[in-house]
Amino acid sequence: MQTPTAPGSQPKIDTVWKACAYGDFETLRSLLGQEPSLVQRGDEQGYYPLQWAALNNRVGIINYLLETGAPVNLADHTGQTALHWAAVRGSLSAAETLLRSGADLSLQDGKGYTVCHVAAQYGQTAFLYHVALRWGADLDLLDNDQRSPLHWAAYKGYADTIRLLMVMDGNMTLADHEGCTPLHWAAIRGNGEACTLLLQGGAQSLLTARDVTGSTPAQLALSKGHRALGLHLADWRRRHEHSGKGGPFSFLFNTQLCPIIWTFIIMMLGMFVHRIMRHPGLVPLRYHPTFVGWIAVLLALSGLVLLYKTTTADPGFIPCGDSAHGSVGQGRKASPATSASRHGERYNHYKQLDSPALWAGAWNQLCVTCKVVRPLRAKHCSVSDRCVRQFDHFCPWVGNCIGQGNRHLFLAFLWVELAAMVLVAAVAALRLHHIAKHEGPATHRAVPWVVCFFVTDLVVGGSVAALAITQASQVARNVTTNELANWSRYKYLRDHEGAFQNPFDRGCKQNCLDAWNPTQATPAPYVLQEESGSKMSLLKMEQGQAAIQDWDSDA
């Protein structure tokens, strides 16, 4: 499927097929006026005018050809229709015109390729999303070799297409006539990103699956010279088989280092009360130091309550699967031509993924693990294995993600504990002052306790102070740790010159109010306001890729 000449050189348009390819309406009308039968005649290669118009997204030409009698589902000698050709370059306007005129999405060419197979072979993600969402296309149909569009996307390495197909419940476990799943083909071609996406989406069980030759994906990658990928797949398999997320030790895995910090705080409190405030070898504290000491103890206990709430609170998990799709919404309304009654259950499932982010082409907001469209600022946490709204970081010390739902609790915990540590340090310093004035055997026995406590408190307190100040600064600016660390990867945090920008900063006061009351804060959008009406990435017509390579060369 190539245009008549190389790009940039337009020859004399003297045939119907060239007129359709280059959009020369006047020439086309003149030629068809002289010989109307040309509308259903192929060129020297056997390709029809409607196919050339569809390939090049010539909507006006397509309408004219259909009005003059061109069959919308007319297939060439390979069995491909105009809709197949529209899928090559992702010609969405042309495809929509053909579909409204009765084009059949389920037609297969001589190799069994449907329109979705062709779109997957050329990485036309927006095209697949369009025909699935608006026209209920079946994304799991198999070609003559028992391969689905997901097989092709994995083979070609189109990450965005893989994301979409997986979120739309593309079957990852289907094996073709060679026993290869999509993971096998991604490994054969050395497509590391494709392998990672498939594994993140639940294909871990396929790491042990064998093709007709008895090879696993890791073995196929190694045999094709992709050593790094083969070792990566083998390592992923070992980690999956020895994962600590289940079994009798799952509690320890889930809580991470949280028991340690609980033990540390309780031990420090016990040491402070019995070895700093009430040590028998030290003179009793006066009223004011005693009052300060007990205030510090109450603050530390209050910090433990906040720590418990931070650990057990929902950090802003986005519901997985079908339960999440109601929040995905906010997309455009379905047209009358795409009613649920027409497409049934499959159409209803696809419509649940209607999102302005996907209409704008933000495919990286698809989470293949949770099967949802993430709003801006959300991120999938590899430890908790969930997507978290306004993700900040995963804190092993509290055993939970820090996100929109518990960030204020985490910040309060830090500052309350910091205040307690400052107060106990002051009392310990006073004790050191008393020790310097009063010498004696009993006093000497208290020195190691006081010094050890004071030094430990200063060291740990310095770390807590740094974290508390950093978190407070970020809350005041309405930015997260993850965003500051990875801002160059997020388009919404870069201006037109590539410099950092924060579109969510509403001023220090409002930022703090939003953080402290997350249930009342404005939720993060799926696209920024200036992008919400744009469909440029959706409507962009990409250049066709190289011809599909022979599978036998890699099998």
- pLDDT, tens only, 253-283: 566 788 899 999 999 999 998 888 877 666 6
pLDDT at 308 over 80: yes
pLDDT digits (tens, 9 = 90+) for 461-474: 999 999 999 999 99
CB 49 within 8 A of CB 70: yes
pLDDT digits (tens, 9 = 90+) for 331-356: 333 343 443 334 456 666 677 788 99
pLDDT digits (tens, 9 = 90+) for 58-111: 999 999 999 999 999 999 999 999 999 999 999 999 999 999 999 999 999 999
Q: Which two tokens stand for residue 130?
A: 């369009």
Report how far residue 113's alpha carbon sits from residue 541's, in angstroms, rounded to the nearest whole number.
21
In sequence order, what DSSP letters do the residues of 322-388 get, joined into one string?
GGGHHHH---PPPPGGG-HHHHHHHHHHHHTT--HHHHTT-GGGEETTTTEEPPTT-EEETTTTEEE
Q: Which of 432, 336, 320 is nearest to 373 (CA)?
A: 320
Report how far residue 520's alpha carbon sits from residue 405's, in angstroms, rounded to the nearest whole number.
11
CB-based burial label for 522 (10 Å; 0-12, 13-18, 19+): exposed
Give the contacts of 271 (CB within 8 A, at least 6 positions apart). Answer: 449, 453
Q: How confident is the model at residue 163 (pLDDT cuts 50, 70, 90)?
A: very high
pLDDT at 284 over 90: no
pLDDT at 252 over 70: no
**Structural domains for the chain:** 178-243 (1.25.40.20), 254-316+400-522 (no CATH)
pLDDT at 478 over 70: yes
Round the average pLDDT of the chain to a whole number and report it. 85
What's the pLDDT score for residue 256? 75
Q: Which of 387, 383, 388 is nearest to 399 (CA)?
A: 383
Active-site residues: which are they? Answer: 395
In sequence order, what DSSP letters do the residues of 189-228 get, joined into one string?
HT-HHHHHHHHHTTGGGGGG---TTS--HHHHHHHTT-HH
Q: How far is CA 325 from CA 263, 349, 351, 375, 529, in A?
A: 41, 9, 9, 12, 21
Q: Would the pTM count as exceeding 0.85?
A: no
Query: How big is the chain by its Cα radius of gyration, in Å?
Result: 32
pLDDT digits (tens, 9 = 90+) for 405-429: 999 999 999 999 999 999 999 998 8
Helix (H, G, I), strand (E, B) or coil at 400: strand
Give the contacts of 362 (CB within 8 A, at least 6 positions apart). Answer: 491, 526, 527, 537
CB 73 within 8 A of CB 104: yes
CB 49 within 8 A of CB 38: yes
What's the pLDDT score for residue 141? 93
